[in-house]
């Protein structure tokens, strides 16, 4: 059997049926089936001139039985989590429900890069907000049905779900986004249009943010784009760690080297350093590295070093004795999750992280000292890392293992499979979604400015990573009581 059976149906009802099948929760993991069905519908759209309407659940089931004969045998399930509405992203003064379980590894982290970019290049802001509203609409509309799937096989959606899609299909139309992406062609040959080319029917393909990132990257001058990516790192630090710390480490953005003897000043654009005591981690562009001469001078304490700290103040420091300094390359090319990424710790490659890995590490670190500890530990150990996941997954594994690493007695290969970062993000939101005050915004806009702590007496407890206060939340019947302590008031009194 081939896909010619699609041609006998009325195209409008067929579009509703295909959206029902491809958007149904367990079916999303079967990317091969979903992609083939979507692609066939898109490619044959102009040929579909049939009159047979699929306007009842019994007719829908008949269509599904035909479809599975053709599509199901070849394609296995992929192990990424299913979006059910728990993951939120703050933008334009509110939280939005967003897709991250889409077959890509770092969609969530890339969203923070996009949020920073659209503030530097305002011509993209309107579309970005439209994309977030659109994803929130889709997820919120489908969310009530997520309790109706009980298995993880490709299956026929239930009658209630089919009826909802059939009656409300117009909700998912968006002419503004259809026109914006009409001529977009991804470098990823496996992708296909987000809306059908003739009728602009919506296609369930939750990679719109990823495609938007790819388009932004192609339209911004390369040097300005790279500068903005590095600025996005500082902005995340500024959000999560809003003060200068005496003991817990600090960050320095766009380093300036000042020769202690000659007083010569050298600016190192697009750099970021993490400092804790006599330990320094310097992030540098992987394709425009700091020269070996300057690196030697930094290691030999030839320079005073200054930069913009996470609290917005420029400060300097210098080492008086031998220090532990590590240089880490950052790849700021091909940011979109649609494109192939650089993974850390390859057998033949230098230690290079991609931009989304840096965002993930900053977001999940409880202190800047913890970031320094991580890089030092993994620079010193003898483990071999084989990773098909984003670099921040390694950081979170290190956190969850209480910073226990192999002491070097044996060479151990540690394997990270795809979607580890996605699973970590989903698990984080699953823990807080029922109790976090998303509806309030304000000081709660930045989820990653808080450390989640376990307390038996509360439903959710949070401690500010900048030590500005703590929050205890008690929830009952969709109501929340929030108890807040402001630590800085006590510090001022002392």
Exposure pattern of 79-118 as b/e (b: 16+ CB <10 Å)?
Answer: ebbebbbbbbbbbeeebbbbbbbbbbbbbbbbbbbbbbbb
Q: Is the same domain home to 100 and 56?
A: yes
Domain around 235: 228-418
* Residue 223 confidence class, pLDDT cut points 50, 70, 90: very high
Would you state the pLDDT for residue 346? Answer: 47
- On whether residue 412 sits in a domain, the answer given is yes
Q: Is the same domain home to 117 and 212?
A: yes
* Residue 209 confidence class, pLDDT cut points 50, 70, 90: very high
> Does residue 141 surpass a pLDDT of 90?
yes
- On whether residue 426 sits in a domain, the answer given is no
In this prediction, residues 228-242 reach a mean pLDDT of 97
Q: Is the same domain home to 85 and 133?
A: yes
Would you state the pLDDT for residue 236? Answer: 98
- On whether residue 424 sits in a domain, the answer given is no
Q: What is the pLDDT of residues 177-194, one digit of tens each?
A: 999 999 999 999 999 999
Q: How far apart are CA 177 and CA 129, in angstroms?
A: 11
Give just the sign of the alpha carbon dihedral 117, 119, 122, 125. Answer: positive
DSSP SS3 for 115:
helix
Q: Which residue would you say has higher pLDDT here, 76 or 491?
A: 76
Exposure pattern of 25-41 as b/e (b: 16+ CB <10 Å)?
Answer: bbbbbbbbbbbbbbbbb
Q: Is the same domain home to 194 and 306?
A: no
Q: Is the same domain home to 301 and 360?
A: yes
> Does residue 291 surpass a pLDDT of 90?
yes
Residue where the block lists tokens 């300057």: 294
Q: Is the same domain home to 290 and 382?
A: yes
What is the DSSP-derived secondary structure letter of residue 6? Answer: G
- On whether residue 425 sits in a domain, the answer given is no
Q: Is the same domain home to 353 and 297?
A: yes
The answer to whether 107 and 421 are in contact (CB under 8 A) is: no
Instruction: Put the strands of the sheet holding 324-331 in their side by side order.
Output: 314-317, 303-308, 250-259, 265-276, 279-285, 324-331, 352-354
Would you state the pLDDT for residue 378? Answer: 79
Q: Which helix (H) or strand (E) holds 96?
A: strand 94-97
Q: Which of 172, 195, 220 is the last residue of a domain?
A: 220
Please give the C-alpha separations between residue 293 and each of 287, 297, 414, in angstroms, as whole numbers: 17, 6, 34
Q: Is the same domain home to 188 and 270?
A: no
Would you state the pLDDT for residue 417? Answer: 74
The answer to whether 252 and 260 are in contact (CB under 8 A) is: no
Q: Is the same domain home to 190 and 332?
A: no
Q: Which of 220, 245, 260 is the last residue of a domain?
A: 220
- On whether residue 401 sits in a domain, the answer given is yes
Q: Is the same domain home to 397 and 439?
A: no
Q: How far apart are CA 380 and CA 357, in angstroms?
A: 20
Q: Is the same domain home to 376 and 457?
A: no
Q: Is the same domain home to 160 and 62?
A: yes
Q: For the chain, report the end-to-end CA distance as a whole number of angstroms.
A: 79
* Residue 409 confidence class, pLDDT cut points 50, 70, 90: very low
Q: What is the pLDDT of residues 193-208, one digit of tens each?
A: 999 999 999 999 999 9
Q: How far apart are CA 110 and CA 104, in angstroms?
A: 11
CA angle 128, 130, 136 (to 5 degrees): 105
Would you state the pLDDT for residue 408? Answer: 44
Would you state the pLDDT for residue 354? Answer: 93
Number of domains in the chain: 3
Task: Enter the pTM of the model.
Answer: 0.93
Q: How far apart are CA 212 and CA 126, in angstroms?
A: 12
Instruction: State the alpha helices, DSSP H only, in 171-275.
Output: 175-180, 208-219, 222-240
Would you state the pLDDT for residue 234? Answer: 98
């Amino acid at each position: 059997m081939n896909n010619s059976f699609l041609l006998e149906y009325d195209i409008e009802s067929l579009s509703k049926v295909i959206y029902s099948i491809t958007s149904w929760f367990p079916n999303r993991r079967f990317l091969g089936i979903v992609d083939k069905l979507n692609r066939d519908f898109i490619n044959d759209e102009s040929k579909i001139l049939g009159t047979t309407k699929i306007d009842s659940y019994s007719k829908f089931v008949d269509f599904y039985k035909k479809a599975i004969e053709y599509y199901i045998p070849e394609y296995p399930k992929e192990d990424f989590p299913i979006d059910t509405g728990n993951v939120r992203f703050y933008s334009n003064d509110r939280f939005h429900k967003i897709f991250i379980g889409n077959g890509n590894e770092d969609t969530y982290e890339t969203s923070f890069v996009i949020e920073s970019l659209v503030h530097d290049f305002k011509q993209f802001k309107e579309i970005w907000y439209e994309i977030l509203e659109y994803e929130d609409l889709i997820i919120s509309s489908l969310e009530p049905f997520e309790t109706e799937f009980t298995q993880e096989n490709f299956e026929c959606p239930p009658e209630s779900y089919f009826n909802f899609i059939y009656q409300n299909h117009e909700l998912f139309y968006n002419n503004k986004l259809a026109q914006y992406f009409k001529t977009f062609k991804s470098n990823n040959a496996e992708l296909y249009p987000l809306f059908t080319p003739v009728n602009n029917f919506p296609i369930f393909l939750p990679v719109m943010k990823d495609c938007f990132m790819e388009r932004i990257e192609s339209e911004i001058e390369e040097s300005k784009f790279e500068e903005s990516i590095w600025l996005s790192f500082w902005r995340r630090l500024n959000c999560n760690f809003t003060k200068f710390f005496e003991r817990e480490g600090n960050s320095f953005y766009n380093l300036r080297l000042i020769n202690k003897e000659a007083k010569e000043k050298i600016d190192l654009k697009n750099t970021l350093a993490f400092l804790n005591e006599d330990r320094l981690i310097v992030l540098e562009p992987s394709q425009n590295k700091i020269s070996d001469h300057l690196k030697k001078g930094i290691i030999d304490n030839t320079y005073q070093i200054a930069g913009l700290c996470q609290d917005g103040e420029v400060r300097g420091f210098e080492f008086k004795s031998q220090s532990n300094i590590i240089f880490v390359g950052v790849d700021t090319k091909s940011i979109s999750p649609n494109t192939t990424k650089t993974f850390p710790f390859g057998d033949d490659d230098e230690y290079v992280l991609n931009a989304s890995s840096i965002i993930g590490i900053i977001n999940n670190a409880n202190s800047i000292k913890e970031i320094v500890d991580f890089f030092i530990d993994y620079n010193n150990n003898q483990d071999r890392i084989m990773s098909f996941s984003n670099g921040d997954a390694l950081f979170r594994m290190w956190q969850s293992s209480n910073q226990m690493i192999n002491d070097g007695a044996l060479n151990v290969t540690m394997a990270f499979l795809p979607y580890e970062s996605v699973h970590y993000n989903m698990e984080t939101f699953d823990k807080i979604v029922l109790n976090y005050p998303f509806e309030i915004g304000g000081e709660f806009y930045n989820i990653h400015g808080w450390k989640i702590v376990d307390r038996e007496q509360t439903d959710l407890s949070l401690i500010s990573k900048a030590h500005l206060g703590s929050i205890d939340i008690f929830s009952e019947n969709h109501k929340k009581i929030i108890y807040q302590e402001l630590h800085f008031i006590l510090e001022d009194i002392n």
